[in-house]
Each structure stands twice: as structure tokens, then as C-alpha cells.
Amino acid sequence: MSSPSCQLDASCADASAPITCAEIDASSRPLLLLVVSAALWLVVGSILGLISSLTFHAPKMFADCAAMSFGRSHPAANNAFLYGFAVPAGLAVLLWLAGRIGRTKLIGAPLVVLGWLLWNIGVTVGVLGILQGENTGHEWLEFSRSASGFLLIGYVAVALAGVLTFRARKEGKLELSQWFILAALFWFPWIYSTSHLLLLIWPVRGVLQSVITWWYVNNLANVWMVLVGLAAAFYFVPKFAKAPLHSRPMGLFSFWSVILFGSWAGIPAGAPVPAWIPAVSTLGAFLSIAGILATWLNLSKTLCLADRHAQRSLSETFIPFGVKVFPVAALLGVLAQPAGVSGLLNFTWFLPAQQQLLVYGFYGLVLMGALHFMVSRLAPVADPKPMFAFLHFIGCAGGVVIFFLALACGGVAQGGVMNDSTVPFLNVVKGTLMWIRLSSLGELLMILGNLLFLLNVVLAVVRFLKVSMESFMAENAKPAGVRA
């Protein structure tokens, strides 16, 4: 490999280390399964998302096709993104990081393969089920119960390999990223199983159900994804800057802030539940402000040490972008909580905009950056052409920025008129159409970015397989090749 990012591995190639990065990466190849399927679902999800927003522009286009109606394509798109892409991609990064930082090979590869299989069966059953009208009705938990069962078992299998790998680490003392990795491995099965038990197995009654849903959505987006995204960020950013992290104590503060405070945020004021619940939730959101600022300060202080003029690899553009988006998205989430603001923004396009900024702008981009890095190590092939990298970045980053700005502006405008009881509701809806159209432009760009991501991953894996096949054949064909 001749790319400049190759030197990034220097820190890992410690002479005293009994194992090299190359060996770790070679043992981690089963993770590519997770990466390829994640990239595929990412594209599927974004196309379903586009279909669902097309229903705003041309309501008649899919009028005769129930599967394509908003009520089905929208949750299908969300779930394909969350469970097709976000969670398995996060797992792949977590497991690889656990090996890399712990300087150990991946342990439990069969578990990864088994988990990957079960997980993807679950996602396929779930998404197809939603398109056929099978939907639990709980936000972000729309998959049917059988699909969720596959997901949970699949996750546990993969995460078990992660925990085994984590345990095999060479250093007893934890690096900062390892805190995030370990917490994330355990966080998801906890929130996923708890919310299923309380919503679908032994459903709690009445308004409590929506409290559980809010709790789950918040814990998946603002805790789990943040943990995974920051695990990657705290690992990669110092690598890019070729300098140690600005402050480890501050990093630990970020960690405890996410775990202790971020986890109770997310229930907006004015929710139809006893007032103390959103009030306490807002307190949690307030308390997490300092942690968000600490994360921002820590990462940007480290990032500014990076050489601005050096040629940048894909991961060196994606991860810093996601890192910059994080404080914006997270602080907007806090801002939307308290009474007054939430009265204006609740039930508007603002909240989906903020959510997209967090789960795609921050989490998605950091993850794609990390995966590009990972794929280029697990299946080493030439770096992509600059034009490709440029389009890919503009698609993902430009797309999410346009999408966010359009819907956030639309949401604020919408909230203003919606609170004016003299404006009929239909006029409110009509007033947002322009913004929705603009946001679809962002969606198109994101589809482009996602497609290029898939292309890059698949090309790398295919080329790698071809090269290994050829060298394998060459080795075995030697005796016969004497003829030449």
C-alpha cells in the first residue's frame, strides 16, 4: 500500500507488541460480512426513504400500491437504516476496535458469522413484514416479534465475540475508546430486550407505552450510537492528528455524561404523560450539555493538531466531519426539550431533521469513515480515485446538511403557524411543501453517497477475493506451470 494513510498504523506496529496490525486485521475478516450487508441495507433504506417522501410530492404515484404508502415505506426505511445499517455497522467497528486497541486477534469468528446470519434474517423478515403491513406500531420498534427475536439472538452472538475479544486484550488498563466499546456492547441488548418485554411481551398500560418508546429511541440514538461513534472518534482522531488525545479525564467525563445523563433525556415537554416525567427528562438533557461541550472541545483540540495540507484519505474527511456535526446535533436535541421550545417544535419537521443530523450526519458519517479505514485494511486494495472520494463525501455530507437545513427551517415555520389556531391544518401542511421538496434534494444526494459507499465496499471485497483466489491458485498450480 502506498497511500499516506498507511503511516497511520505506525502506532499499532509497536516493536514490543507480539502481534502485528496485519495479523489482527487478517483475523477480523469475518467482520466484512457485517460491513457488506450494512452497506447494502443503507442503500435499500435510503431508497425506501425517498419513496416515502415522494408520497408528499406525487401522492398518486403509488396510490394503488399499499406497500409503498407512507405508513409502510417510512417505517420500513427507518428500520432498514437502523437495524440494517446502523447497528451491524457499529458492531463491526466495535469488534475491530476491540481487537486493534487490545492488540489481539478477533476471538469467536464463528459466532460473528452465525450472528450475522441470524441478524440479517431478522432484518429481512422485519422489513418485508412492514411493507406487507405487519407493524407493531411502536416507533423504531416496528419489526414483528419474530424478526426481533432473530435480531436479539444475532446481536448477542456477535457481541459475545466482542466481549471475548475484549477480554483477551493485552493491557489491563483501559484506553478511553475501550470504555465506550464495552458499554456499547452491553447497552443495546439491555434497551432492546427491555423495551420489547414492556411493549410487546407484557405490555404496560396506556401512556406508559409512549414513555418506553421515547426511552428506547433516545437510548438508541443518543446513547448507543453516541457511544459507538465516540469510540471510533476517540480512536481515530488522535491517529489522524498523530498526537495523543487532548485530555483523557475530559474524555471520561464525556463517557459518564452520556451514560448517566444522556440516558434519561428524550421525553419532550408537553408529552401526554404526568408532567414530572418530561420535567425530569429535561433535567437529564440539561445535565448532558457540559458533556457534549467537553466532547467537542476534546476532539477539536486534538484535530487542530492535524496537518491541514496533507492529502486526506476518505476516513480522514468523513470522521472529522461527523465529529463536527456531533455537538450541533446533540445540543439541538437538548434545546428541543424544555417547555416553550418544545411547544413550538413538537410535531413539526424539526425533530426528524435533528434526528437525521445525529444518526446520519454524526453517526453515519463517522461510521462510514471508520468502515472505509477498516475495509482498506481488511481487504487492502488501491485507494479510490479523488473524484470518487469527492462525490462520495459531497453526497453524504452535503446531502445531510441540505436535508437538515430544509426540514429544520420548515419545522420552525410550521411550528409557528400550527400554534395559531386560526390557520386551518391543511394550510399548515401545504406551507411545508416547499421545504419538503428541498429536503428531497438532500435525500437524493445521500442516496448517491450511500451508493458510492456500497460500491467502494463491494469493489474492495471483490477485488480482494479475486487477488487471494489468484495467489491461492498460483501457489497450487506451480508444479503444473512448469510447462511455461
Partner 1 sequence: MPIWLIAIFILSGFSGLIYVGNHSGWFDAQVYEPFVDSQHLEAWARPPGPGEELKRGKATFGTLCSTCHGDTGTGSATTGCPPLDGSEWVMAAGPNRIIRILQNGLAGPIEVKGGKYGGGAVAMTAVGAALSDQQISDVLTYVRNAWSNKGKGAAPVTIEQVKAVREKIKDKSGYFTPDELLKLPEKD
CB of 271 to partner 1, least distance (A): 9
Residue choice 135, 218, 219, 282 for contact with partner 1 (CB under 8 A): 282
Which residue, 253 or 347, has its beta carbon nearer to partner 1? 253
Residue choice 113, 293, 405, 441 for contact with partner 1 (CB under 8 A): 293
Which residue, 59 or 249, has its beta carbon nearer to partner 1? 249
SS3 content of the chain, % helix, strand, coil (to 5): 75, 0, 25
Residue 279 makes contact with partner 1 by CB under 8 A: yes
Which positions from 224 to 263 touch partner 1 by CB under 8 A, shown as an x/- string? -----------------------x-xx--x----------
- Alpha carbon distance 326, 332 (integer Å): 10
Residue choice 182, 198, 294, 452 for contact with partner 1 (CB under 8 A): 294
Which residue, 202 or 276, has its beta carbon nearer to partner 1? 276
Residue 469 makes contact with partner 1 by CB under 8 A: no
Residue 342 makes contact with partner 1 by CB under 8 A: no
CB of 422 to partner 1, least distance (A): 5
Residue choice 173, 202, 205, 422 for contact with partner 1 (CB under 8 A): 422
Residues ≥6 apart with Cβ < 8 Å to 107: 161, 164, 165, 168
Residue choice 172, 205, 276, 481 for contact with partner 1 (CB under 8 A): 276
CB of 430 to partner 1, least distance (A): 12
- Alpha carbon distance 147, 181 (integer Å): 26
Cβ atoms 116, 34 nearer than 8 A: yes
Give me 274's grid cell.
404526568
17 alpha-carbon distance from chain centroid: 32
CB of 426 to partner 1, least distance (A): 9
Residue 339 makes contact with partner 1 by CB under 8 A: yes
Cβ atoms 271, 277 nearer than 8 A: yes
Which range in 116-124, 268-276, 358-366, 430-438 contacts partner 1 by CB under 8 A?
268-276
Residue 208 makes contact with partner 1 by CB under 8 A: no
Residues ≥6 apart with Cβ < 8 Å to 328: 357
CB of 248 to partner 1, least distance (A): 11
Residue choice 168, 200, 283, 401 for contact with partner 1 (CB under 8 A): 283
CB of 306 to partner 1, least distance (A): 21
Quote the crossing angle between the two packed helices 109-131 and 70-79, to the nearest 10°. 170
Which range in 23-31, 65-73, 272-280, 307-315 contacts partner 1 by CB under 8 A?
272-280
Give me 313's grid cell.
484519505
Using DSSP, state whether 303 is helix, strand or coil.
Answer: helix
Q: What single-letter amino acid sits at 170?
A: K
Residue 335 makes contact with partner 1 by CB under 8 A: no
**Count of residues touching partner 1 (by CB under 8 A):** 30
Return the residues of window 63-122 that contact partner 1 according to CB under 8 A. none
Q: Which long-range contacts (CB under 8 A, 24 or more apart) does 239-244 make?
A: 239/8, 239/11, 240/8, 240/303, 240/306, 240/316, 240/319, 240/320, 241/302, 241/303, 241/304, 241/305, 241/306, 242/305, 242/306, 242/307, 243/302, 243/305, 244/302
Cβ atoms 24, 105 nearer than 8 A: yes
Residue choice 17, 22, 290, 304 for contact with partner 1 (CB under 8 A): 290
Residue choice 274, 304, 430, 477 for contact with partner 1 (CB under 8 A): 274
Residue 153 makes contact with partner 1 by CB under 8 A: no
- Alpha carbon distance 136, 17 (integer Å): 50
CB of 162 to partner 1, least distance (A): 30
From residue 461, give the alpha-carbon distance in Å to each of 164, 335, 468: 26, 43, 10
Using DSSP, state whether 295 is helix, strand or coil.
Answer: helix
Phi first, then psi, for residue 421 (nearest 5°) are -70, -10
Provide the binding-site residues for partner 1, judged by CB under 8 A.
247, 249-250, 253, 269-270, 272-276, 278-280, 282-283, 285-287, 289-290, 293-294, 297, 338-339, 421-424
